[in-house]
Chains A and B, each alone.
Chain A
Amino acid sequence: MKYLRWTLFCCTLLGFSGWWILHKPKSPVDDLPPIQFTSLQLHFKQQGAGKALAAQVRQWPEVSAASFNDVSGLLVVVHTHALPQTELIQRVAAKAQQKASIKVFEASGPQCPVPAEFLYRLPVYLLWFGIATGAFTLMLFYRLRHA
């Protein structure tokens, strides 16, 4: 029991110190709505039609940016989650009067096996680990005192 108490105490210290070292200060960016990118492959015969479509898409309230590149034929739309990707594709296809297919980007070369999201959220996980083990440690100390 004594061994468990001290192990939990060390885990608590580890959790809190890990959070303290790794946590990042809050930024005004954290208050901005999250966005997602959708890249669509389109084909226009008329020069400037793609750019005109991008300008129209930019006016939609859920869209924060849109860009069409004449060389690649890619329409890239930056939008909030209020506009689901499927609905965006339907709306663009209706405006462009053609089928819009998603351009899938594939990562090449060696990739980090640990997901970026896990690394980003690691300080929060450590904080919760510290709180949980801390609660257990206090409980064990309390039980031992009143045993």
Chain B
Amino acid sequence: MKRIIRLLPALFLAVLVVAACKDKETMDPQPDPTLYERLGGINAISAVVDQFLANVVADNSINGRFAATVADPFRTQLLRNNLIDQVCAGSGGPCQYKGKTMKEAHTGMNITDAEFNALVGDLVAALDQFNVPEQEKNELLAILGPMRPDIVGQ
């Protein structure tokens, strides 16, 4: 009997710990996965961005706009890394976009609606190639859509 009494405080402590853990579980339900997680993380995003850039460079309706960048391997790498950072950060990933603002980057370029639409077409083709589900595709395009006024006609 004395032994049981001696064990009581330890038992009480154990009950308290279990209860606290259970409370924490009920208070912090698993958050919904971010778009970044649903897309498959940094490797999946980099694969889509690489395919998107390959589509753009092959597309002679807009590849002239990227001639200076493609001519310099370092600038090509920088553009690719900035795009990955931008998509990663916009979709809730652990990245920070370090490039210029869209307005700064496109000022003086006079990009037309047709060119912008061709670019979006190349992006959609890249997303389709990797069978990105419709919901994730729309969420991603919704993140990039508001950038249009800062890119077109600047």
Contacts and interface: CB of A to CB of B under 8 A. Distances in A.
Contacts of B95: 27-29
A47 interface: no
Contacts of B96: 24-25, 27
Interface stretch (B25-33, B75-83, B140-148): B75-83
Contacts of A72: 58-60, 63
A108 B54 contact: no
B74 A117 contact: yes
Interface in B66-91: 66-68, 70-78, 80-81, 84-85, 88
B50 A108 contact: no
A116 B75 contact: yes
Interface of B: 42-43, 46-47, 50-51, 53-55, 57-61, 63-64, 66-68, 70-78, 80-81, 84-85, 88, 93-96, 98, 126
B50 A29 contact: no
Contact of B42 (A32, A105, A111): A32
B74 A116 contact: yes
Interface of A: 24-25, 27-30, 32, 34-37, 39, 64-69, 71-72, 74-78, 104-109, 111, 115-117, 120
Nearest to A69: B58
Given A32-B46, A65-B54, A76-B58, A116 B72 contact: yes
Q: Binding site of A, secondary structure by majority: helix, strand, loop or mixed? A: mixed
A116 to B, nearest CB: 5
Contacts of A35: 50, 77, 80
B57 A39 contact: yes
B51 A65 contact: yes
Contacts of B61: 71
